Amino acid sequence: MSQINILIQPHGGQLIDCYLQGKDRENALNKASKLPHLMLSPRNIADLECIATGVYSPLDGFVDETEYYSIVKDMRLNNGLAWSIPVTLQVSEDYANQYPLDSEIALVHPNGEILAVMTVTSKFKPDQALEAKMVYGTTEDAHPGVQAMVKEGEVYLGGPVKMVNPIPQTDFLNHRLTPEDTRVEFARREWNTVVAFQTRNPIHRAHEYITKIALEVVDGLFINPLVGQTKSDDIPANVRMQCYQVLMERYYPQNRVCLGVFPAAMRYAGPREAIMHAIARQNYGCTHFIIGRDHAGVGDYYGTYDAQYIFDEFSEDELKITPLKFEHAFYCTRNQSMATAKTSPSSKEERIHLSGTKVRQMLRNGQTPPPEFSRPEVAEILVSSMKLATV
């Protein structure tokens, strides 16, 4: 156990675990069957899993009104601790009366299984336009994060949750590692410093390049792809996982890389989401976090490096995890290798820029990404998946 103690402390100092055990669980489960039921959306379920397992420590439930406004306006919890996006449970105004203030409700999976009991300590109707502007940087409905936020409902319920059943999962079971799991695994591997890499795309050559640079200065790499809800045109998580696994097997040292899924839903909140992602990785036990070009961005809503600049708004005391900021990597035809503007003297014409968007465009057009974009094994998986999707 002494090895675990050398790892970075969770955000706020303690990992949250919302799961009830033994008699407490039995009693809560019996009570829950008689409580008002609230059917959870996919985003709710993703948030609930992150809260319950400590990924979103120190949150122990959906945020109340005081915390909500503190986060939206100041990017901090009411106690001053850094937090950038409110994790909310929303319901339609038409159904809000079913969930009274100062009562308990049962949170239910779409399959009908009761997952948790929540004490409703807060019930309010915020200014969603303000939330959109502050969190997403826009009020446009075209923004997928704004669109998802509005769709969830106008009335917000806040309060702590107690889990009575695990969230049903059927995929990536060997890679669904909780922060407790990863901390034990990192300690077993004797990794004192760990860099996390967040992705919702297959790892292309630019990603591989920056992760390997990061590996030069830390003990281990935690590839932690987001597998919660994403945009419909993003590459499906099961396809991406195949890509990550083949890359790890063939192009990374086995003893220095670990793969575990990040169950969160994607919000596309750019800079604010970069902070949230960093905090989550600190809770997993990571000491460093890669921040590249337009982290968690979408369209043209954010500046190219806004997700890096936002870290300057927090002190080292507020965020213990260290951001590793990388410029946009490209394939340099002069050097015949990956590079950035910091390392290559090449002209614009000698640079092949890589991005997940470009790869998706090529696949939709029936093109195989060239080796400057993707490793051949990854390209093969992507092309095969696209063919199956169009059959």
Active-site hit among 183, 200, 272, 293? 200
Q: The tokens of 360 are what?
A: 């998706």
Instruction: Examine the residue annotation and report whether 111 is marked as an active-site residue of this protein.
Output: no
Active-site hit among 44, 183, 201, 293? 201
Sequence-distant (≥ 6) Cβ neighbours of residue 328 within 8 angstroms: 206, 292, 293, 304, 340, 341, 353
In three-state secondary structure terms, 250 is helix
Distance CA 287, CA 323 (A): 9
Eight-class DSSP state of 44:
H
Instruction: Examine the residue annotation and report whether 78 is marked as an active-site residue of this protein.
Output: no
Sequence-distant (≥ 6) Cβ neighbours of residue 334 within 8 angstroms: 344, 345, 346, 350
Q: The tokens of 311 are what?
A: 């870290």
Q: Could you give the dihedral angle defined by the CA atoms of residues 338, 341, 342 and 347, in that order, rounded to the nearest 10 degrees?
A: 90
Q: How many CB atoms lie within 10 A of CB 300?
A: 8
Alpha helices in the chain (DSSP H): 22-32, 42-52, 65-74, 128-131, 144-152, 179-188, 205-215, 237-251, 271-284, 306-309, 356-364, 376-390
- Report residue 241: phi and psi, to 5°: -60, -35
Helices 144-152, 42-52: axis angle to 10 degrees equals: 90
Nearest to 197 by CA among 265, 290, 321, 305: 290
Distance CA 133, CA 240 (A): 32
Question: Which residues belong to the active site?
Answer: 200-201
